[in-house]
Amino acid sequence: MSRFHVLPRKTGGENPEKCPVCRTGWVNLMDINGDGSLLACFACGCVFVSKALRISEARGIKEQVAKQDADKNGGKSTAGTEDMSGNVTAPPEPIKCEICGKEVKTKLALAGHMRSHQKAE
């Protein structure tokens, strides 16, 4: 008798658990921890984390990053950039064209825009 619990293959339902190596979805899986978090494939022997745990982990990380950003900025969203020390700088002021007044974000964009005025002359 094995000390590991065997999860029977799913015969239906949505999103059956699949082995990430052999991609076999309709195979019995071995439950290593006993709580369904760590599984092993009987077909190829691969040990992997269950899909439900991977999805919840990804959601948790996304929420944690959003919370850290909100805490760092006092609840405000950042439109600027972050430097090496972690300080958030304000977004750069737009640069205006002296001829037509069009606003661009960078000097390079202004140089490209100025070429359109040279063609018109």
Please state, in angstroms and rounded to a whole number, the distance separating the CA atoms of residues 58 and 101.
Answer: 45
Give buried/exposed letters for 93-114 (b at 16+ CB in 10 A, else e): eeeeeeeeeeebeeeeebeebe
- Is 41 in contact with 27 (CB distance < 8 Å)? yes
In terms of average pLDDT, the best of 62-66, 73-77, 83-87 is 62-66
Is pLDDT at 104 greater than 50 in this prediction?
yes
68: DSSP letter: H
**pTM exceeds 0.75:** no
- Is 3 in contact with 13 (CB distance < 8 Å)? no
Please state, in angstroms and rounded to a whole number, the distance separating the CA atoms of residues 18 and 25.
Answer: 4
- Is 89 in contact with 80 (CB distance < 8 Å)? yes
Phi, psi of 40 (to 5 degrees): -130, 140
Phi, psi of 71 (to 5 degrees): -65, -40
Residue 12: per-residue pLDDT = 47
